[in-house]
Amino acid sequence: MKRSAGLLLHRPSAQGREVLLGHMGGPFYARRDAGAWTIPKGEYEPDESPWAAARREFEEELGLPPPDGEAVALGEVRQTNGKIVTAWAIEADLDPATIAPGTFRMEWPPRSGRLQEFPELDRVAWFGVEHARAVIVTAQAAFLDRLAEHSP
């Protein structure tokens, strides 16, 4: 069973709480909005702690060190693909224009023999919680509910 871990950054705004999400890169998500946004996260092996993986993956996916601050455990969710995702929330600000996303390679188009490189996250943005709920990977919406339990 695959496992991922990530960090959900959040900040107060005049309109209420906002969360930072990344739009998944690559051709499968290029024209999608709903269900194509995720917390910055990534897979880890059993010998790595989920917390260490969440911090490592944040840096790999955004090209920035993870922020300092109090981390609030948001628990786990199981996505429809069976992957278990563990997340922590940290109140912090980040300018999306400063990211330098990591990349991945895949054969594209399928069965073409051509390898292409794509960004892990092709863009990052701040969303109000309700708007985030409309675009985030369905199972990850539970993290938004859990964040609300811990935020003013």
The pLDDT of residue 28 is above 90: no
User: Contact 119/103 with Cβ under 8 angstroms?
Assistant: yes
Element housing 72 (H / E): strand 71-78
> pTM (2 decimals)?
0.93
Tens of pLDDT, residue by residue over 37-76, are 999 999 999 999 999 999 999 999 999 999 999 999 999 9
pLDDT at 150: 84
pLDDT at 152: 64
Tens of pLDDT, residue by residue over 74-118, are 999 999 999 999 999 999 999 999 999 988 999 998 899 999 999
